[in-house]
Amino acid sequence: MGPSDLEYSITLEALPRDLQPFAEELPFHLGLTAHPDGGWDDYSALAPFQRLPFYASERPGQGLAPELQSRYLRAHHRGGFFGLLIDRLDDGQVAPRPEWPRLRQALFDQWLQSLTEATGNEVLATEAIKVALEDWAEAVSNEKALLSRRRLSMAQYACLVSQKVSWLGTSAFCLLLAHGDPSRLPSFRRAFDLLLLSSQCLDDALDADEDARLHGIGFPEALGHPPRGLLRTAPGVARLGAAVAREGGFHELGAWLADRARSLDESHSGKSSLQAEMSALALMAAVTQLYGGPTVTSP
């Protein structure tokens, strides 16, 4: 059992008893796994997504106390459970159930409680979650509007990705604000956004046909590039994220992103074409203009 599933077993025990049988199979009900006994770790296997506060806690000298780091990891996982729930419910791919409103509230309450316990600051925890959920709601609204116009820029796409999944970074951001060096937060946020963007480029390239069926258009077409072009952008974005992370002193995250970039290159470079590589160069130039750093698309 991985870290997300271990934490969810504790989360499950704290839910109202009558919700537990349904909530026990929540990843399946949300369409994240193919079988009722599937877990959260089946869906989110990337290490930073599972342990982002660990990467945020890296600093010179004495590290964060293990007990405090565990509190932030708990808040991170509980934020993930809630964020995936609201995102899947909004996406319209989840069957209506009478349990949803109560389960949503229960998971929200657990997230707020755990983040308050980690930060020791209820005002900070409340405001951070409020900002993350406002970002998510704005991204959902903008995504629908942009796709209905069938065109969006890379800047708009990157903003959508950052806002729509900002809840995943909330606990790590709070760690830097409450128990780290707040001046390092902008660098970490940029690296985190590039981590998200790299992953989303890959997912949206692979899901282009399904998105076109569900929404009338996929993201590659809306960006004006072929799916393979967006696919080949993913390693360059990860590599830029690695440079940003290292520059900010987050060497563990930088090393992971560099390895991720190499893995993506090895997995997909042989399936590319001149058109895809030219598209990746254009998209990567736009990303570099947004986030800074050298334009790099190959090892």
Identity of the residue numbered 111: W
Check pLDDT > 70 for residue 298. no
Running DSSP on this structure, what letter comes out for residue 217?
Answer: S
Range scoring the smallest mean pLDDT among 65-69, 269-273, 278-282, 286-290: 269-273
Q: What percent of the chain has pLDDT over 70?
A: 97
pLDDT at residue 12 greater than cutoff 70: yes
Residue for token pair 């020791």: 120
What is the pLDDT confidence band of residue 14, given thresholds at 50, 70 and 90? very high
The pLDDT value given to residue 3 = 86
pLDDT tens figures, 54-96:
999 998 888 899 999 999 999 999 999 999 999 999 987 788 9
* Nearest Cα to Cα of residue 176 among 126, 135, 124: 124
pLDDT of res. 299: 35
Q: How many CB atoms lie within 10 A of CB 100?
A: 16
Amino acid residing at 273: S
Spatial CB neighbours of 282, under 8 Å, sequence gap ≥ 6: 225, 229
286 backbone φψ class: left, alpha, beta (φ>0; ψ -120 to 50): alpha
- CA distances to 97, 213, 252, 253 from 249, in Å: 46, 43, 9, 9
In the prediction, which pLDDT does 293 show?
A: 66
Q: Please answer whether residues 4 and 80 qualify as being in contact, where contact means their C-beta atoms are separated by less than 8 angstroms.
A: yes
- The mean of the pLDDT values for the chain is 92
pLDDT tens for each residue of 200-252: 999 999 999 888 887 788 999 999 999 999 999 999 999 999 999 999 999 99
- Return the CA Rg of the chain: 19
